Structures are given as structure tokens and as C-alpha cells.
Amino acid sequence: NYVTVYDTIHFNDSSCTNIINEGDTAICSGNSFSLSVNSGYPGNLSGFTYGGYYNGSYYYLSDSPYSWEDADSISNLLGGHMVTISDSAENSFVLSTIGTKYVWIGLYQNTSSSSYSEPAGGWEWVTGESPNYLNWNWNEPNNVANENHAQMYSSISLDPGYWNDANGNNYINGN
């Protein structure tokens, strides 16, 4: 679930707009996603809001919308990965950090998995772990529109903190 920036990263992509630069780290801006850090300095990351510390980890929330794939790539670029949620207490903590934003979480449906089947088979965390805790909303996952990525509903939704399978190409409006 966790991001620490240690290495020097050089980024030069003329097709990228709204580049965010922080020291030696550069990323394109674009869907909000929840991100956390498990070690190192919990300092400011340009383009992210510090969400707090929970169970040995520092959590950050992107300030801009991204597709699920872009959110995953940026998390990896920063040396970590998207948030994984191991129990209801952590789910509640993550919900408290996202406020009114809908966010991607690090859960996706691995279509190459031997347990893959629609709509509920093959789900795993970006860390490769099988999910021991799930918080799907009623009738989810349902794969209505090629939905292989998970999002968490915001605090202002009808079902705050519950999860929905969504198309990862969507840009969740995080603002």
C-alpha cells in the first residue's frame, strides 16, 4: 500500500501535460487514487495530499484524476503501490482520508489468474495478495461494462466506503 521516494527519476515526455516536479521526481497530472507510504520520510509530495498515518503506514491521496492504470504506474514510479485494504478498520481509515472523493484502490481482476471468472473471480491486490477482506457494495462486482478495477465510494455517496467494480479507463472525478 505504500510509497517511499528514494531514487533519482528523470522524466522527459513531450506528450505529457501538466507535469508535476518535486525534486528529482516528475509525473503527469491527471484521476485521484489513494496511496500510502510504509517507511521513510512522510513529507510533502507535490500533487498529493497527506492523508495520515495508520498501522505503520503513511497515506497520500492524489489531488488530480487518473485512470486506474495511470494511478498504478505513478504509484510504482514513486516506489510504492496503490492502497490495499486488509480489514474493516483500515477501510474506515481510508474512507476518512478521501472525504468527498471517489478513489481507485489497488484491487483488480487478474484475467490471467486460474481463478478468473466473471464477475467475481480472479480479484487480487496490486501486491499480488489474494484479498482476505472485501467490502463490495450490494450486487458488486457485476462487470456491467468491462469492469476489472475497484473503486471506493466517497463519504457523500449513498454507500460510503463500499467498493464498486469499474472500468479502469475511466477518470474518476476526484475533485
| Secondary structure class of 67 (helix, strand, coil) | coil
**Spans of the chain below 70 pLDDT:** 1-42, 173-175
Strand stretches in the chain, DSSP E: 19-22, 25-28, 34-37, 48-54, 57-62, 103-109, 123-125, 149-152, 163-166
How far apart (Å, rounded) are the C-alpha atoms in residues 93 and 73?
24
User: Given this model, what pLDDT does residue 41 score?
Assistant: 52
User: Given this model, what pLDDT does residue 25 score?
Assistant: 44
pLDDT tens digits along 25-37: 444 444 445 554 4
User: Given this model, what pLDDT does residue 6 score?
Assistant: 29
User: Given this model, what pLDDT does residue 134 score?
Assistant: 97
Cβ–Cβ under 8 Å, residues 1 and 82:
yes
